[in-house]
Each structure stands twice: as structure tokens, then as C-alpha cells.
Amino acid sequence: MTSSTGQSQLSAALKERARLEGFDPVGIACLPGSSRLQMRTAALQRWLDAGFQAEMGWMAAPRRLDARTLLDGARSLLAVGLNYYVSESRQPNSLAIARYAWGRDYHRVVNQRLRRIGRWLESQRPESRWRVCVDAEPLLDKAWAEEAGLGWIGKHSNVIHPQRGSWMVIGHLLSTEDLVADQPAEPRCGRCRACMDACPTDAIREPFVVDSRRCIAYHTIENRDEQLPDLIKAGMGPWVAGCDICQDVCPFNQTELPTNQDPEVQPRPWVLDLSAAQVMQWDPATWDQKLRGSALRRIKPWMWRRNAASAKSVDPPTVSSSEIR
């Protein structure tokens, strides 16, 4: 068996192992990446220079500029997507929570499954080393997902898959193995600006550039100030934890999308039928019980009350399909 044949077989087997863990799409990229990856890295620096990261100082971590600094000898990575689109919907006149957080904390889910894949890889190549990266690690995760062919980065800055839309969280497994790379995804947003036009706070300042200082998701999750800015209060509608508006209106999310039956992404019942009155009564024990094992624990009880005080309960939006250009 030639070395190239062995690499191809290992790469195919690794991707199949990822699919068995519930990931789809999956892809492989080689380090240091193509010229497009360099373009995305330069764009990150411009974004930081403009102050669009707000108080998220961790986005400026120097290691984010080169994935090879995260694992000595890293030569490739496996990129995976976990679909979190489910058939259930938010109840009318309830407060809104971003879909990614309806189920179990995706950091834990993706991390645990990628670790199983890493151990499998090590069983096949005992000398290999690997490292799991979810979005808490200093990696340009969306850029590497695009590089590995999972989808392209849309104008709202989320990764879009042509058949699955943008309802997925992503993770990566860095490896010292030489693997066979997939083709990077080609952008397909064209002239569409549905996400830009729909944002009530005009947070998408230009295609692919989101100003966190104007973003409802940033302020409801990361902002530790006692009061939300007036701009956010005026535009947040029912959103108390994240915001899906830019994804809701994306034409690639208007098609018949596959739903995931995975128990770990299914919504907790209270998430779909939440009122401001309920939130205002949460004490630390109630908060702990409801948010155990949830990504939403980042939002502390007082922040939930702050957000709910400014939100307006309205029916979920009805979005008509629009032409993909």
C-alpha cells in the first residue's frame, strides 16, 4: 500500500467515524491552509482594529492567527458540523431563545464526540497526536470549516451548508497525521442581503462584518452591564438569549431542511414557552435546575431578568421564501 493510498483510506475512515458520532457535514483541511484562510485571518485583524469585538478580548488571542500553534506538529484537521435544527417551534407570544441553545450544551456534546474520534484515530495511528477545538479554543473555527468544505461563511458570518442551511455548530480535531483535504466551499450568497436588511439594530455593517456592539446576541449573552443600550432595547423584540433573525431570513434556511432527532439537541420544554413573569421569579436554585448542562448558564440570573424586562413577547416571525441569487 502506497503512502497516498493509506492517507486516503485513513481520511475516508476518519470522516465515516465522525458521521457515526452524528456529525454531518464533515470535511478535512490541511495546515496552514489556502490563500482564502490567509484572507480570513487578515479580515479578523481588521475586525479587531475596528473594535467590533466589543468586550470579547479573547478574540484577539495571537494563537488564533495560526492553528499550528495549538498542537505541535499539526498537519491537518477534521472539521465537523452538528445539526441542531429540530421540528419543534417556539410557542406564540413567548420569549425567544436562539436555537443553538435549546438542547444540551453543544460545547460538551461536540467535545465528547470529537474526543472519541481522536481516541479512534490514535488506535489506528498510535504515534499520532490530536487536539479537540470547539469555539472556546483560539481557532478561526468558521474559516477552517469553510476551508474543509462544510459550507461557506455567509454575510451574517455564520457557516451555510447548501442543503442543511446554517443551523449547525462546528468543531475541529487537529491532528499530526497527513490527511487528504477536501475542496473549500464556494460562496453562494451572491447579491442577497436578506440577513443585513432584517437585522433590527443594523449590526451587519457590511457583508461578513458583524459589529458586536450592535448585536442582540452579544448583548443578551455577553454584556455584563446593569442596563442594555437603548439601541438593543428598541430592537430586541422577544429575544432574551441570543438571536436568530439573520438566520431565520436566510434563503438557504427556507427550504425543507433535515431535522435532527438526536436526544442531545432536543429542546427543553420550558425553552419553547417562556414568559417574562416566569423569568422574574427565578431564584438561583431555579436557574441552576433549568440551566444545568446548558450553554445558557453563561447568562446569569440577573441578566435573564434584565433581558426579560426589555424584551417584548411576540409571535414567532413568519418568513416567506425568497429567491436565492
Quick check: 4 and 11 in contact, CB under 8 A?
Answer: no
Who's near 207: CB < 8 A, 6+ residues apart? 155, 189, 193, 196
The pLDDT of residue 313: 55
* 3-class secondary structure, 207: coil
The pLDDT of residue 62: 75
Quick check: 243 and 217 in contact, CB under 8 A?
Answer: yes
From residue 4, give the alpha-carbon distance in Å to each of 1, 76, 148, 239, 271.
8, 15, 19, 51, 49
What's the chain's length in residues?
325
Averaged pLDDT, 254-264: 95
The pLDDT of residue 173: 98
* 3-class secondary structure, 171: strand
Which helix H or strand E contains 160, and what residues bound it?
A: strand 159-160
pLDDT digits (tens, 9 = 90+) for 54-83: 888 767 777 788 999 999 999 999 999 999
pLDDT digits (tens, 9 = 90+) for 141-173: 999 999 999 999 999 999 999 999 999 999 999
From residue 272, give the alpha-carbon distance in Å to each of 98, 103, 108, 263.
10, 11, 22, 16
* 3-class secondary structure, 233: helix
For residue 315, how far is the Cα from the chain centroid?
A: 25
DSSP string, 87-136: S--PPTT--EE-GGGSSS-HHHHHHHHHHHHHHHHHHHSTT--EEEE-TT
Number of neighbouring beta carbons within 10 Å of residue 158: 22
- Please state, in angstroms and rounded to a whole number, the distance separating the CA atoms of residues 6 and 25: 23
- Please state, in angstroms and rounded to a whole number, the distance separating the CA atoms of residues 55 and 70: 24
- Of 102, 36, 68, 76, nearest to 262 by C-alpha is 102
> Which of 1-10, 266-275, 279-288, 302-311 is predicted least confidently?
1-10
pLDDT band at 44 (very low <50, low <70, confident <90, very high): confident
pTM: 0.91
* Whether the predicted pLDDT of 88 surpasses 50: yes
Say which DSSP state 187 is in.
Answer: P
* Whether the predicted pLDDT of 136 surpasses 90: no
Say which DSSP state 140 is in.
Answer: -
Averaged pLDDT, 253-282: 95
Number of neighbouring beta carbons within 10 Å of residue 61: 12
pLDDT digits (tens, 9 = 90+) for 283-321: 999 999 999 999 999 999 999 999 999 998 544 444 333
The pLDDT of residue 55: 80
- Strand-pairing partners, residue 209, are 206
Parse the chain into domains and list their residue ranges: 3-84+102-175, 194-310
Say which DSSP state 40 is in.
Answer: H
pLDDT digits (tens, 9 = 90+) for 187-234: 999 999 999 999 999 999 999 999 999 999 999 999 999 999 999 999
DSSP string, 209-227: EE-GGG-HHHHHHT--SSS
> Environment class of residue 281 by beta-carbon count within 10 Å: exposed (0-12), middle (13-18) or buried (19+)?
exposed
Specify the amino acid at residue 61. Answer: A
Which residue carries 445539526 as its cell? 83
262 as an active site residue: the answer is no
- Please state, in angstroms and rounded to a whole number, the distance separating the CA atoms of residues 2 and 99: 46
**What integer best gives the mean pLDDT of the chain?**
92
The pLDDT of residue 87: 94
Query: Cα-Cα-Cα-Cα dihedral of 155, 159, 163, 168, to 10°?
Result: -130
Active-site residue, selected from the candidate residues 49, 66, 135, 178: 135
